[in-house]
Structure 1
Amino acid sequence: MSGHRRNLFAVTAASFIGFTGFTLVMPFLPLYFNLLGVRDVGDVALWSGLSLGVTPALTAFLSPFWGRLADRFGRKIMVERSLVSFVLVMGATAFVTRAWHVFALRAAQGLFAGYGALTLTMAADSAPRGRMAQAIGMVQTAQRLGPALGPVIGGIVAQVVGLRHAFLVAAAFYLAAVVIVFALYDERLVREHAAEDPERDRAVTFRNVLAFENFLLMMAVIFGLQFVDRSFGPILPLYVQLLGVGTDRVALVSGILFSIAAATGAIGHHYCARLLRRRSASHVIAAASAVAAIGAAGYVAAGSVRWLFLATPLFGIAIGAGMTAAYTAAGSVIPAGARGAGFGLLTTASLVGLALSPIVSGVLGATSLRAVFLLDVVGLAILAVVVRRVMTKPGTPAPEPPLAEPTAEAA
């Protein structure tokens, strides 16, 4: 196995194991609060919401900062730092005795998380010239499949060893991810690859990154696709029930639909590279947004749950392909020495979409469940039109972002 392939395998495997380890226990957090003595349903919902929300909120704020440090000191050590923090927090969660202990640990986790963005950066760094889309797609596929399998594995683990000890199993997953990155990822190869970049020594600030060609537009695309993708979570079981599925089958049918969306999203990530060889990134993103809008429209028009099984694969593949194309388009314009900061900003956009989507869906869904999917259709259609009209095509002259004088921020 060549060095670049080994590096890509390391970050893909670490992403899959880490995302699996996270969803091994987090879906069962409300049950854990019951175990800690919280009995009131409202209190359980409050603690669960706060504990699940605080980590991505802090991560969204700090991702660009960790990315900047990774640009200065190396991606590998920053990913190892983040994964080790997960080992410690997951392990400590197994020994908590109060609900606020869980919240405090999740807040601490948010301060040190961010390995997801950094693994995408490492994949882009390790990719041979012209293969960035394939590398990013592989890591995003792993990040999709992990959460699809994690709850199933977690349910089995909790049954065998108990919910409290399941957190120790999750910590072991993260420890395995640390070992893989430490043993297999060779950052020297990345430095040699970066040395070929004529712009590697340019002083680049966050303002410069935002000024790169299409970068702000891609942040908006990633926010929009993530917002739409996560809008289904709070209301899909309710919508399945509205379409006439019996109460005893709602959980099963909803679970199958979520799994289909995750699996087809992974397919979209994986095959996006092939699409980008034939079409421009603007064409792929616009087409993916339009196809996803058609899939969401299938939800709006559905008269029975059968329609959802037709619309979901279409929606999932399109969202996956669009997301990988957006990350690839943004990553291709960032100099190697600033990719950590760049992918950190992209992750911030993604996490903000992830955080806002359930809130908006819940409020809008209280009025009409179909209105949530209608909002998705409108948002995706706007994305498709804006990308086709605004996105600069390869080879089109674009204004150069101003170069910064060497400063403490750029160093």
Structure 2
Amino acid sequence: MEIWKRNLYILWFAQFMVLAAMNLIIPFLPMFLQHDLGVSDPVAAQRWTGWIFGANFLTAFLLAPVWGKLADRAGRKVMLIRSSIGMSLVTFCMGFVASPVQLLVLRLLNGLISGFVPAAVALVSTNTPKEKTGYALGFLQSGAVAGTILGPLLGGLLAEWVTFRDIFRITGMMLFGASMLVILFVREINKPQPKSKAAIETKEEKGFRKILHTSPLPGLFLTGFLIQFAIMSTNPFMSSYVQELWDSGAFVSLMVGIVISASGISTMLFAPLLGRWGDKIGSQYVLLICLIGAVVFFIPQGLVHSVWPLIILRFLLGMCIGGLVPSVNNLIRKYAPEGMESQTFAYSTSAMNLGNLLGPIAGGMLSGFIGLHGLFFMAASLFLMNTLWVKYTLHRTETPRTLLAHMLHSK
């Protein structure tokens, strides 16, 4: 098997393990806070949940560029090992916390040393033939989505047999298992070349400015931020929306799981296909089409009066989501300055983490004024803004006829 393919398959499984592990306990944080840490007030438990959930994204946003610089200097595989082993130790320790403050501190620390996903993206993109990069990044994205979908399900099953504290320990062991996969089976081909100290210092001084002045990278960073901001402004409130739509009081948890997993399943299925399509016609076209599709499928979600059409719309939305982040990553790989690929991906990851952090905050603040239905209209508006922004930054000279010609030529 070609080395890039072996790396891709191993990192797919490793990334699946990491995302599944990190999602084992997150959906059950309010219950852990109430049952194990003594936060009896439900309102206080929700408030602590928000802070603890967002803490990881806050520190990850701040430190991602630092790890990106080190990856361009020391290698991407080293960053994968550093991140997975560090997160495994910190998460294992979460099983011993005695207060919400201690858990919050450990989540902040976990964000400081995280970075497995962007390091995996950087390694795959720099060790895969350029004509296969779109497919590889789409395939890698499907592993992350699969872990995100199955993590809560596995966590729910484990909670029936072990305690919440044991789940943290199991999570730590899963993360350590992912690190062993990387150590034993991943081989980095295009390692960064050693440079003199003076050359490194000069490069670091000019690195950030060079990235920001490389068109269209700043526009792609903003695109990634808006994608995550729009998605996360609705996702945390999906369970409340389903409860509002579901007339029967029975099986509400099951319906919540089905609605949430619908988009994830379609994303997992269609991300590799859209990535391969991007290799043929250009990722900028796939990105634009998927942004338009997100607008089309977000609007009716705010108009539904039943759970069943919502499930269908979430599945269709997931198809579009499957082409968004992989297309952005493929374009970043295309335009990133040579030797600064990991650093460029790190700035992109910081922008997305900022969207992950601010999206739920904005959704929570605005839901009291515009209602849960209004959040979907807001998300559609953000995707429309993003569509116009991508059209301006990547398609200034393109017309619908040109886009159609590219699509027909690919066939």
Q: State TM-score, norm by structure 2.
A: 0.89
Match of 2:249 among 244, 247, 250: 247
**Which amino acid is the alignment partner of residue 282 of structure 2?**
S
1:309 deviates by 2.2
Match of 1:384 among 375, 384, 387: 387
1:244 deviates by 4.6
CA deviation string 1:90-132 (max 9, x = no partner): 1111122222221121121121111111111011012113111
1:336 deviates by 4.5
Structure 2 Cα separation of the partners of residues 53 and 379 of structure 1: 21
1:94-243 alignment, distance < 5 Å: 94-187=95-188, 189-191=189-191, 203=203, 205-243=207-245
**Which amino acid is the alignment partner of residue 392 of structure 2?**
R
Residues 282, 393 of structure 1: 8 Å contact kept: no
Aligned to 1:319: 321
CA deviation string 1:29-76 (max 9, x = no partner): 222222122222233223222221111100011101101011111111
Structure 2 Cα separation of the partners of residues 375 and 36 of structure 1: 36
1:392 deviates by 5.3
**Which amino acid is the alignment partner of residue 69 of structure 2?**
R
Residues 82, 115 of structure 1: 8 Å contact kept: yes
CA deviation string 1:373-405 (max 9, x = no partner): 11112221222222223315899xxxxxxxxxx
State whether structure 2 residue 257 is matched by structure 1 residue 274.
Answer: no
CA gap 1:229/1:124 in 2 versus in 1, 3 angstroms: same
Residues 286, 383 of structure 1: 8 Å contact kept: no
Residues 8, 126 of structure 1: 8 Å contact kept: no
Residues 92, 172 of structure 2: 8 Å contact kept: yes
Structure 2 Cα separation of the partners of residues 164 and 273 of structure 1: 39
Structure 1 Cα separation of the partners of residues 166 and 239 of structure 2: 29
- Indicate the SS of the match to 1:366: helix
Residues 224, 351 of structure 2: 8 Å contact kept: yes
Aligned to 2:43: 42
Aligned to 1:8: 8
Residues 95, 168 of structure 2: 8 Å contact kept: yes
1:345 deviates by 0.7
Structure 1 Cα separation of the partners of residues 229 and 44 of structure 2: 27
1:242 deviates by 3.2
Aligned to 1:400: none
- Indicate the SS of the match to 2:190: helix
Structure 2 Cα separation of the partners of residues 244 and 150 of structure 1: 24
**Which amino acid is the alignment partner of residue 247 of structure 2?**
V
CA gap 1:224/1:243 in 2 versus in 1, 3 angstroms: same
Aligned to 1:22: 22
Structure 1 Cα separation of the partners of residues 301 and 130 of structure 2: 40
1:346 deviates by 0.7
Structure 1 Cα separation of the partners of residues 186 and 296 of structure 2: 41
- Indicate the SS of the match to 2:313: helix
Structure 1 Cα separation of the partners of residues 45 and 139 of structure 2: 37
1:231 deviates by 2.3
Q: State TM-score, norm by structure 1.
A: 0.89
Residues 265, 318 of structure 1: 8 Å contact kept: yes
1:319-338 alignment, distance < 5 Å: 319-338=321-340
Residues 55, 107 of structure 1: 8 Å contact kept: yes
CA gap 1:47/1:237 in 2 versus in 1, 3 angstroms: closer
**Which amino acid is the alignment partner of residue 326 of structure 2?**
T
Aligned to 1:261: 263
Residues 72, 340 of structure 2: 8 Å contact kept: yes
Aligned to 2:353: 351
Residues 133, 325 of structure 1: 8 Å contact kept: yes
Structure 2 Cα separation of the partners of residues 12 and 373 of structure 1: 31
**Which amino acid is the alignment partner of residue 45 of structure 1?**
Q
Structure 2 Cα separation of the partners of residues 231 and 317 of structure 1: 19
Structure 1 Cα separation of the partners of residues 52 and 261 of structure 2: 24
Residues 269, 323 of structure 1: 8 Å contact kept: no
**Which amino acid is the alignment partner of residue 51 of structure 2?**
L
Residue identity over aligned pairs, in percent, reads 25
CA gap 1:61/1:174 in 2 versus in 1, 3 angstroms: same
CA deviation string 1:274-319 (max 9, x = no partner): 2213423332211111111110012123233232122112211112
Residues 235, 365 of structure 1: 8 Å contact kept: no
CA gap 1:186/1:336 in 2 versus in 1, 3 angstroms: farther
Structure 1 Cα separation of the partners of residues 70 and 90 of structure 2: 22
Residues 7, 184 of structure 1: 8 Å contact kept: yes
**Which amino acid is the alignment partner of residue 23 of structure 1?**
N
CA gap 1:186/1:274 in 2 versus in 1, 3 angstroms: closer
Aligned to 2:83: 82
Structure 1 Cα separation of the partners of residues 13 and 397 of structure 2: 32
- Indicate the SS of the match to 2:339: helix
CA gap 1:336/1:247 in 2 versus in 1, 3 angstroms: farther
CA deviation string 1:196-236 (max 9, x = no partner): xxxx9994601211222211111111111112222222332
CA deviation string 1:251-291 (max 9, x = no partner): 22221011011111223321122221342333221111111
Residues 209, 342 of structure 1: 8 Å contact kept: yes
